[in-house]
C-alpha cells in the first residue's frame, strides 16, 4: 500500500458558524475565527485517510504552505505503515524551521491522516487497530467560558451536570475576588460529588498562582490547568510542591521532548498531550513516558480522535468534551451518562462536512499532488 495522492485545504470559519451562542474566550484571548487546515490522503489500494489541525485565527496559511512545500511531497509514494518513521524523518528534516509551532502541527496533521488510513485499510476503528485497553472512558464537560457572567456560568455548568457529566471544567483568570466568587458559585451549584477542574490558560506567574491556589484549595479542585506559561518548568515544580491541588499542563507543548523535564522534575501530576500538536505518534510517546513516570494522561480537546487514543493506552484518566467543532462534523461524538465510547467505523471517524466548510475556504486554494 502506497500513498497515491494528498489534498491539503485551508478554511477560515467565523465563530457564529461553529459557536452561535455568543462570545467565547479565556484569560489571554477571545476567539472570533477558527482556521482549519485539513489533509486527505489516498492510497493506491483505494483507502482514504483524514488529518487536520487548527488555529484560533492566525497562521493557518503558514501551516498550509508548509504542508504543500515540505510535507506532502514526502508522503506521496510512501507506505502508510511507515508512519512512525515518517514522523521522525519530518521532524528531522524540518528541525531548522523550528521543532515546535507551525512545524509540529503541520506534521501532526499528516501523521493523523496516515494513522487514519492504516486503520481504514484494515477495516478497524483506530482504537482497535492500536490495541484496546478499554472500550469507553469518563468524559468531563469543558467550556471556554471566561466571558460569561457568574449567573450564565452557573447555568452552563448546571446544564452539563444535568446531562449526566460527573466532572466539569471552567475557566479562571479574572480578578482574585471574581475567580473565588465564580468557583464558589459553581461548586455550590454542582455539589461536592462533582469533580471540578479550573483552567487559567497561562494567566499568572508563580507568586500569583500560589496566591490564587491558597484561596482556591478549599473548593476541592481536581486540578488547576496551565497556571503558568509552558516554558516555566521550574515554576511548575515549585508550585506543585507547595500545593495539594494537582497541576495539569501539556496543551501548549508541541513535541514529546518538551514533556520530559516536567516528568523529571515532578512539575505536574496531570499531563495533557494534544494530538493536534503531537500527532498520533507523538501523543502515544508522551502517554508511554507518562506511564513510566507513574502518571495518567488527560487528553486536551479534540475528543473525536482522543477517545480512540485514550482507549488504546492503560493510563488514560478521562476525556475532555468540548464540542466546538460539533456543528461542522458529519458525525459528532456522542456522550451518554458522562461516558465516551469510540465509534466503530473504520479509522478515527472524524470528518468535517464539506457542505459546512466549503463557503469558508481560504483564498489559498487546495493543493493536490500526485
Give the catalytic positions in this structure: 171, 300
Strand, helix or coil for residue 220: coil
- Burial grade of 30 (CB within 10 A; 0-12, 13-18, 19 or more): middle
CA gap 307, 278 in Å, rounded = 16
Range 330-334 contact pairs with CB under 8 angstroms and sequence separation of 24 or more: 332/304, 333/303, 333/304, 333/307
CB 315 within 8 A of CB 295: yes
Exposure of 348 in the CB half-sphere (CA atoms within 13 A): 29
- Contacts of 251 by beta carbon, 8 Å cutoff, 6+ apart: 226, 272, 274, 277, 300, 301
The H-or-E segment that residue 227 falls in is none
Strands across the sheet with 48-55, in order?
A: 48-55, 33-43, 3-14, 367-369
What is the sign, positive or negative, of the torsion defined by CA atoms of 312, 317, 321, 325? negative
Cell numbers standing for residue 103: 512545524
Query: In angstroms, how far is the first alpha carbon of the chain from the final one?
Result: 15
CA-to-CA separations, 53 to 20, 84, 128, 165, in angstroms, rounded: 22, 18, 23, 27
Amino acid at each position: 500500500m502506497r500513498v497515491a495522492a494528498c489534498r491539503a485545504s485551508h478554511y477560515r470559519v467565523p465563530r457564529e458558524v461553529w459557536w452561535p451562542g455568543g462570545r467565547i474566550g479565556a484569560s489571554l484571548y477571545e476567539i472570533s475565527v477558527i482556521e482549519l487546515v485539513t489533509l486527505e490522503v489516498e492510497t493506491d489500494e483505494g483507502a482514504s485517510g483524514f488529518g487536520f489541525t487548527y488555529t484560533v485565527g492566525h497562521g493557518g496559511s503558514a501551516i498550509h504552505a508548509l504542508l504543500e512545500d515540505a510535507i506532502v511531497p514526502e508522503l506521496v509514494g510512501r507506505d502508510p505503515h511507515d508512519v512512525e518513521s515518517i514522523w521522525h524523518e519530518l521532524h528531522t528534516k524540518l528541525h531548522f524551521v523550528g521543532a515546535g509551532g507551525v512545524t509540529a502541527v503541520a506534521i501532526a496533521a499528516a501523521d493523523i491522516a496516515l494513522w487514519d488510513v492504516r486503520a481504514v485499510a484494515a477495516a478497524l476503528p483506530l482504537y482497535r487497530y492500536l490495541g484496546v485497553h478499554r472500550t469507553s472512558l469518563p468524559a468531563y464537560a469543558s467550556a471556554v467560558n471566561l466571558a460569561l457572567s457568574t449567573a450564565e456560568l452557573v447555568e452552563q455548568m448546571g446544564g452539563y451536570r444535568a446531562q449526566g457529566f460527573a466532572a466539569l471544567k471552567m475557566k479562571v483568570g479574572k480578578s482574585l475576588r471574581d475567580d473565588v466568587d465564580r468557583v464558589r458559585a459553581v461548586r455550590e451549584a454542582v455539589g461536592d460529588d462533582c469533580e471540578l477542574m479550573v483552567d487559567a490558560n497561562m494567566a499568572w506567574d508563580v507568586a500569583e498562582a500560589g496566591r490564587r491556589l491558597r484561596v482556591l484549595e478549599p473548593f476541592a479542585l481536581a486540578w488547576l490547568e496551565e497556571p503558568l506559561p509552558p516554558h516555566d518548568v521550574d515554576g511548575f515544580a515549585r508550585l506543585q510542591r507547595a500545593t495539594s491541588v494537582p497541576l495539569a499542563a501539556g496543551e501548549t507543548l508541541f513535541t514529546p521532548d518538551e514533556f520530559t523535564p516536567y516528568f523529571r522534575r515532578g512539575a505536574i501530576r496531570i499531563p495533557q498531550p494534544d494530538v493536534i500538536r503531537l500527532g498520533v505518534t507523538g501523543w502515544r510517546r508522551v502517554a508511554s513516558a507518562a506511564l513510566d513516570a507513574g502518571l495518567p494522561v488527560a487528553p486536551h480537546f479534540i475528543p473525536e480522535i482522543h477517545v480512540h487514543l485514550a482507549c488504546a493506552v492503560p493510563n488514560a484518566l478521562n476525556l475532555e468534551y468540548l464540542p466546538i467543532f460539533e456543528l461542522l462534523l458529519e458525525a459528532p461524538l456522542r456522550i451518554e451518562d458522562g461516558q465516551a465510547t469510540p465509534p466503530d467505523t473504520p479509522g478515527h471517524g472524524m470528518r468535517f462536512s464539506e457542505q459546512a466548510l466549503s463557503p469558508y475556504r481560504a483564498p489559498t486554494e487546495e493543493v493536490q499532488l500526485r
